[in-house]
Structure 1
Amino acid sequence: MKKYILVLAVFALIFTVSCNSNKKEDSESMSNEMTDPEAKPDMNTSQTSLEWKGTYSGTLPCADCEGIKTTIKLNDDMSYEAIAEYLGKKEGTFQTRGYYKWKDDGQHILLSDDNETTYMVGENKLTQLDSSGNMVTGELAEMYILKKKDMAANGDVKFTDTKWKLVTLMGKDIKDSEAFVSFATEENKVFGHAGCNTFNGTYKVENGSQLSLDKVSVTMMACPDMTVEDQLMDVLNTTDNFSLNGKNMTLNKAKMAPLAVFEAVE
């Protein structure tokens, strides 16, 4: 009998030690999960939960002008296009193209511009941060917000069958010029006015935005100033891609600065 009781006592001791050991392991496991720097919490971020691709616009504050009318388009391939118009300044329109990346927190994007501009991505808006990466506070805080455009409501235009008026050429604003270009869907014809002479030819679009022009002929009338025309024809012969941003269209060469900017007209 004593032997039987002794066996039961041994089994009880083993069972108690085993339970305590399991509890200790579970506690340590939970503690490690809470303190492990590699453990990533399951959370939704702007990058994963918002439809952030699209076009955003607004007027940012300006120290020496009436404001900076800004439009930024975030593309699927992590590239962006931006137009900044310094209101009240001559030759105050600048267009840049580049790439953006998400920061580790999934809430902010960083542009590849000279200032490495950072935006916090929210529901249908981009909020520009200051040079230190902090939110701007005070009376002007609301002015640092770019709101996402509703493409249908804002009437974004198509690349083809639209009259594109020249507004910027090689970085300079163009005024008082009749220059325009149009890409017709019928027989892939390109035609327009270069500022003095008219031109026409054919074009081809591949992969959505790659552009090539062929057999472009120009009338031979002479004008006092052929500067715009000569530069525009060089652009048409050089460009290899285009991009759309609202009611603006640009002709580009590779990933360099835009060669020419056009605006859709009625």
Structure 2
Amino acid sequence: MKKSQLILMVTLFSVAILACSPPKGIHESEVTEGSIANNQTLADNSRNSLDWYGVYKGITPCADCEGIETTITLKRNSTFKRSLKYLGKNENSFFDEGNFEWDETGSYVTLMGKEGTTQMYQVGENVIFHLDQEGNRITGELANMYRLQKNPVDFRLENKKWVLIELRGKPVEKKEGQSEGFIEFDMETGMFSGKNTCNNFFGQYELMEGDRIKFGQAGSTLMACPDMTTEQEFMEVLKIADNYNVVDELLSLNRAKMAPLARFELAKVD
């Protein structure tokens, strides 16, 4: 056999071996039909390619009430919180929390309540679909009511610390016995929290189109401070503000088109 023929046979054998090997980084046991032809098949799913964590809301059908106002928070640590409000009933609220698991395809999650109940959801882009007990999408006239929409997010605003610098047009000066006033918005849980210069506060918020914001009722600690004026004004702003602006490193909370109720600056990172 000529040397050139031998080299050609070795080359073809090497190419054949490479063609039959799984893609780099994928164990042989994970290879499924078509995955070699498309190296992205195993990676492109809801779990890996979407910002799925966050708060989802909707009103699902109810057999003996006006509807079930549903809120589900999916967290990156594989835990969930769920609240159900049965519209038109006297005792109408239910709350639970627990863990959830992804299926092997990374497209579905199963919520596991503390009482052993389970519920599956298909995860899409900014939406989850309530599935039937067999794990199938619900069809028919009410199909659209079995979808929960994810709350809008704003990377300019959320997951940052904003320090209070102005209230109703007046600069905020730190007085003796006061702490720094600030607010933070948690994208994952839809919770706001902070300090009003005296007490810690917290609550739920919701972002809407057009830089609008809705603050839920705020809870707070009950420590007494020498001067409560700034605290009271700060908390009043959170009750009435309905929109916001973020320009560079400044945040303003506003009501309608009036002058800003409060201004904040982005906290400096040490």
- TM-score, scaled to structure 1: 0.52
Shift of 1:151: 5.7
Q: Tell me what 1:69 maps to.
A: 69
Q: Tell me what 1:107 maps to.
A: 107
Q: d(CA) in 2 for partners of 1:76 and 1:38?
A: 24
Q: Tell me what 2:174 maps to.
A: none
Q: Do the aligned partners of residues 104 and 245 (structure 1) sit closer, same or farther apart at CA in structure 2, a change above 3 Å counting?
A: farther
Pairs within 5 Å for 1:86-125: 86-113=86-113, 114-125=116-127
Given residue 99 of structure 2, which amino acid in structure 1 is its aligned partner? Y
Q: d(CA) in 1 for partners of 2:96 and 2:76?
A: 17
Tell me the alpha carbon deviations over residues 202-234 of structure 1, each in whole angstroms, 9 at most, x when there is no partner: xx79xxxxxxxxxxxxxxxxxxxxxxxxxxxxx
Q: d(CA) in 1 for partners of 2:21 and 2:61?
A: 48
Q: d(CA) in 2 for partners of 1:62 and 1:33?
A: 48
Q: Tell me what 2:85 maps to.
A: 85
Q: d(CA) in 2 for partners of 1:21 and 1:120?
A: 49
Match of 1:141 among 143, 147, 168: 143
Which has the higher mean CA deviation after the structures are superposed, 40-49 or 91-100? Answer: 40-49
Shift of 1:74: 1.8
Shift of 1:158: 3.9
Q: Tell me what 1:38 maps to.
A: 30
Shift of 1:28: 4.0
Q: Tell me what 2:5 maps to.
A: 16
Q: d(CA) in 2 for partners of 1:76 and 1:82?
A: 15
Which has the higher mean CA deviation after the structures are superposed, 18-27 or 64-73? Answer: 18-27
Shift of 1:17: 3.5
Residue 26 in 1 paired to residue 30 in 2? no
Q: d(CA) in 2 for partners of 1:31 and 1:24?
A: 11
SS state at 1:187 partner: coil
Tell me the alpha carbon deviations over residues 232-261 of structure 1, each in whole angstroms, 9 at most, x when there is no partner: xxxxxxxxxx8747536799xxxxxxxxxx
Q: d(CA) in 2 for partners of 1:81 and 1:265?
A: 25
Q: d(CA) in 1 for partners of 2:66 and 2:149?
A: 19
Q: d(CA) in 2 for partners of 1:144 and 1:49?
A: 23
Shift of 1:55: 1.1
Q: d(CA) in 2 for partners of 1:46 and 1:32?
A: 26
Q: Tell me what 2:196 maps to.
A: 185
Tell me the alpha carbon deviations over residues 40-91 of structure 1, each in whole angstroms, 9 at most, x when there is no partner: 6324222222222211100111222221110111234332211101122221
Alignment gaps of 5+ in structure 2: 155-184, 207-215, 221-237, 241-270
Tell me the alpha carbon deviations over residues 106-140 of structure 1, each in whole angstroms, 9 at most, x when there is no partner: 22222122332111111111111111111112222
Larger Rg: 1
Give the number of aligned pairs. 167
Conserved 8 A contact 1:57-1:147: yes
Q: Do the aligned partners of residues 250 and 130 (structure 1) sit closer, same or farther apart at CA in structure 2, a change above 3 Å counting?
A: farther
Given residue 26 of structure 1, which amino acid in structure 2 is its aligned partner? V
SS state at 1:111 partner: strand
Q: Do the aligned partners of residues 248 and 85 (structure 1) sit closer, same or farther apart at CA in structure 2, a change above 3 Å counting?
A: farther
Tell me the alpha carbon deviations over residues 15-57 of structure 1, each in whole angstroms, 9 at most, x when there is no partner: 31442243134224313449x5433632422222222221110
Given residue 13 of structure 2, which amino acid in structure 1 is its aligned partner? K
Q: Do the aligned partners of residues 134 and 76 (structure 1) sit closer, same or farther apart at CA in structure 2, a change above 3 Å counting?
A: same
Q: d(CA) in 1 for partners of 2:205 and 2:71?
A: 8
Q: Do the aligned partners of residues 123 and 250 (structure 1) sit closer, same or farther apart at CA in structure 2, a change above 3 Å counting?
A: farther
Sequence identity (%):
30
Given residue 82 of structure 1, which amino acid in structure 2 is its aligned partner? R
Conserved 8 A contact 2:65-2:89: yes
